[in-house]
Amino acid sequence: MEKKDLIGEARRYVDNAHKTLKDNENYDPDTRCYDDKKYVRSAGHYLWHAVMLALDSVFHVREDRRTRIDVDAYREAVRKRDRKLLALLNTSYQILHLHMGYDGILLKDSCDTGFHVTNDIIDRCERLRAS
């Protein structure tokens, strides 16, 4: 896949995450929480994958996209080029990969923050790739 397509693919993953939560939304406005961890975890995995695709469009950490992701290798590559992006990457790792993807945090505000961070990373990678 061309580097140009990776940003579009990342945005498609964000759309899939949004659709997963919206279509299976068992949201309780009183508690501001989702009812089912399964869909939050799926959305978290989609968003984390979107982050990895966006980073792959700029940084050449993995030669083969089928290999396992080493977040420390990405952190090192990002640290050398853009410290603000590094802060976003660290935040996304915590929210998307750990809290949403593994823990299945049900709080809607945390999930919304995950979407915002993911979109910020994609936008920043798109600008870095263009420069």
pLDDT at 24: 78
| Bridge partners for 116 per DSSP | none
Q: Residue 59 sits in a domain of what CATH number?
A: 1.20.120.330
What is the number of domains present in the chain? 1
pLDDT at 65: 65
User: Which of 47, 48, 73, 45 is closest to 59 using CA atoms?
Assistant: 73
Residues of the chain with pLDDT under 50: 1
- The domain of 68 spans 3-130
pLDDT at 42: 95
Q: What digits encode the pLDDT tens for the residues 61-85?
A: 876 667 777 889 999 999 999 999 9
The answer to whether the Cα torsion of 17, 125, 71, 85 is positive or negative is negative
Instruction: Please state, in angstroms and as integers, the Cα–Cα distance from residue 118 to each residue in 8, 26, 34, 64, following that order.
Output: 13, 23, 20, 23
CA dist 66 and 77 (Å) reads: 19
